[in-house]
Structure 1
Amino acid sequence: MPSPESIAVKQYLKAFVASQPAGLDLEASRKGLEMLSSLTPVAPDIKVEKTTVEGIPAEWIAAPNAVESRVFLYLHGGAYILGSCNTHRSIAAKISRSTASKVLLPEYRLAPENPFPAAIEDAVQAYRWLISSGYKPEQMIIGGDSAGGGLTLSTLLSLKEAGDVLPALTVLLSPWTDLEGTGESMETRAEADPWLKPEASRATPVLYIGKLDRRHPLVSPIYADLKGLPPMLVHVGNDEILLSDSVRLVDHASAAGVEVSFKVWDDMWHVFQTFEIPEAKQAIDEIGEFVNQKLSVNA
């Protein structure tokens, strides 16, 4: 059974979405996500340090238990058109604590001002900057939520193609892996999803990729060759239209020989981990267990 807190948040999200203007108002959407994120403040013991990564604004976010040599490169969600350090500082802080990692949260360039492949270029740059700064791939994790999850995969694929040593692990929360929107959950979960709508999810990609083929492997990683990617943890909600994006990714990755840990969370919605509910705490704790178990072996 879902917790009372999650039921209340789901009702709030439905009301919030219903209050938004019809059609895509980019400025209003960006402000709306900032407002939602302000409801989940960062704990007072978290250290936040602003920095730049080869000209890219970013933040270092570290819980008191963060191991100096362990870094989690976190790529925020927002359909490639929304999101910032402000919107994802809180979840980055929770992940820092659970994984005992310093988190680097870059503000990669957003579309439509900076369309594909700007976000990938910035994410690749951020990873290489970490390597050049002395961090070891075997103590690094890369991950993200929603579009940030898709961007994580595109970054790994780009690094693999270029011959870079890949990080040890990847963590994907409700990853957006099919920008064409062909998954069956786009219809079967449309009523249950309190946040995302199929029409908007299918209309938004044009702002990021223009006329580029939506099945391009760096756009929709379910069409990519995933062989050789690091072990991955994938979490997704059972009540979200992007459920099929995760299911198909996991099937594809497993078939390619990638080690995958996969969990579908009953009664949960898109990137529920960002909210102050018991299920989110459990999910964040499980991310920590995954990372700490794997990296303690590799240390």
Structure 2
Amino acid sequence: MSLPQRTAVDTLLRHAPIDFSGDVAEQRVVLDRVLTAQPRPADVVVTPLTLGDVPALAVEIDGQAPSGTVLYFHGGVFALGSAHASVGLTAELARRAGLRVVTVDYRLAPEHPYPAAPDDALSAYRALLELEGGPGSLAIAGESAGGNLAAVTLVNIRDAGLPLPSAGLLLSPWADLGVTGESVKSKAAVDPALTADALRVRARDYLRTTDPESPAASPIHADLRGLPPLLIQAGTHEILLDDAVRLAARAAADDVSVTLDVTAEVPHVFQAFAAMLDEGAAALDRAAAFLRDRLREPAAPAAAPQNP
């Protein structure tokens, strides 16, 4: 793996014009511009669709027959980001996994605080489940705030008594909206993108009066029993490293099959830099292999948590 590549990504992020705690209207434009700066490969096919009342984009690779579908939730601290801006990353996942990725435009805070985003996520899953005719060829994935949403949605699917998808993929999940992990301090100097202050601003916008320690908002506090196998990826140069570690520990304690995949000296959602970062490409390959393997197996039935 390449030190010059990691240095280039770090420099790019430190000089990016993104302020995650800044004016929402301005920063939405900035983030979308940054994430869509590279031209889309000619073989990436993007189709708008609606899942229930929730807008989404289906991302596929021309000439590739997808063997399943991933319902994907973009990042952006619950206030920024879009399905359109996530096409670059989701197309790479679709290409490597041989799957269709459906990326969701869930409602954003502060205009639409909690529980708008998880409500949209569950509605989108219900609609996709009906379209697919069952959960066996379905997985759920997300990055950063979308990783939180993916984990919360898996719990909500279980608690609603719906059939669970075959797998969950969480990239650098923001799993603790209280922002209490030790890495928030210990990794602050090496994280080129996120700050604790910005996360706290956006957590307040999203949660309003909801307790950040609520299991429905922060999945590190949730009962995860009965969830499908999870792959959680993170980098050691991100303040949310402990969110990934603690979420994996919670899943293991709740008897969930979970793999924690930590890559050294890479930042938050480093997979998005796969075109210029060997570690990002390798992580996406591992994520794709995990999804392919799980979508070959029957999905587990919905399982409500049992009292200890």
Instruction: Indicate the TM-score class for this superposition, using the shorter chain for normalisation.
Output: over 0.9
Long gaps (5+) in structure 2: 300-308
Structure 1 residues 98 and 20: alpha-carbon distance in aligned structure 2, compared to 1, 3 A threshold: closer
Who is 2:140 aligned against? 142
* Deviation of 1:20 (Å): 5.1
What fraction of aligned residue pairs are identical, expressed as a percent? Answer: 38
Asked if 1 retains the 8 angstrom alpha-carbon contact of 2:68 and 2:295, the reply is no
Asked if 2 retains the 8 angstrom alpha-carbon contact of 1:30 and 1:83, the reply is yes
* Deviation of 1:39 (Å): 2.9
Structure 1 residues 89-119: Cα deviation after superposition (integer angstroms, max 9, x where no partner):
1111011111111111110111111111111
CA distance, structure 2, for counterparts of residue 67 and residue 112 of structure 1:
39
Long gaps (5+) in structure 1: none
Partner amino acid, structure 1, of 2:183: S
* Deviation of 1:279 (Å): 1.6
Structure 1 residues 200-242: Cα deviation after superposition (integer angstroms, max 9, x where no partner):
1122111111021111111101000000010000100100000
Who is 1:189 aligned against? 187
* Deviation of 1:134 (Å): 3.1
Asked if 2 retains the 8 angstrom alpha-carbon contact of 1:66 and 1:96, the reply is no
Matching residue within 225, 232, 235 for 2:233: 235
Within 5 A, what are the aligned runs for 1:36-185?
36-64=34-62, 66-68=64-66, 70-185=68-183
Who is 1:13 aligned against? 13
CA distance, structure 2, for counterparts of residue 208 and residue 124 of structure 1:
17
Structure 1 residues 136-156: Cα deviation after superposition (integer angstroms, max 9, x where no partner):
211111010000000011111
Give the superposed CA RMSD.
1.7
Asked if 1 retains the 8 angstrom alpha-carbon contact of 2:72 and 2:141, the reply is yes
Q: Does 1:287 align with 2:287?
A: yes
CA distance, structure 2, for counterparts of residue 119 and residue 21 of structure 1:
22
Asked if 2 retains the 8 angstrom alpha-carbon contact of 1:91 and 1:274, the reply is yes
Asked if 2 retains the 8 angstrom alpha-carbon contact of 1:37 and 1:86, the reply is no
CA distance, structure 1, for counterparts of residue 40 and residue 230 of structure 2:
26
TM-score normalised per structure 2: 0.92
Moved more, 128-137 or 241-250: 128-137
Asked if 2 retains the 8 angstrom alpha-carbon contact of 1:142 and 1:169, the reply is yes
CA distance, structure 1, for counterparts of residue 149 and residue 20 of structure 2:
27
Q: Does 1:269 align with 2:267?
A: yes
Partner amino acid, structure 2, of 1:221: P
Moved more, 45-54 or 260-269: 45-54
* Deviation of 1:40 (Å): 3.6
Partner secondary structure for residue 87 of structure 1: helix
TM-score normalised per structure 1: 0.95
CA distance, structure 2, for counterparts of residue 23 and residue 220 of structure 1:
20
Q: Does 1:209 align with 2:198?
A: no
Partner secondary structure for residue 55 of structure 2: strand
CA distance, structure 1, for counterparts of residue 129 and residue 21 of structure 2:
42
Who is 2:242 aligned against? 244
CA distance, structure 2, for counterparts of residue 287 and residue 155 of structure 1:
19
CA distance, structure 1, for counterparts of residue 93 and residue 84 of structure 2:
15
Detail structure 1 runs of 4+ shifted over 6 Å in the superposition. none
Asked if 1 retains the 8 angstrom alpha-carbon contact of 2:109 and 2:206, the reply is yes
Asked if 2 retains the 8 angstrom alpha-carbon contact of 1:174 and 1:236, the reply is yes
Structure 1 residues 293 and 27: alpha-carbon distance in aligned structure 2, compared to 1, 3 A threshold: same
Partner secondary structure for residue 143 of structure 1: strand
Structure 1 residues 50 and 221: alpha-carbon distance in aligned structure 2, compared to 1, 3 A threshold: same
Partner amino acid, structure 2, of 1:24: G
CA distance, structure 1, for counterparts of residue 92 and residue 217 of structure 2:
28
Moved more, 173-182 or 281-290: 281-290
Aligned length: 297
CA distance, structure 1, for counterparts of residue 6 and residue 157 of structure 2:
38
CA distance, structure 2, for counterparts of residue 140 and residue 264 of structure 1:
25
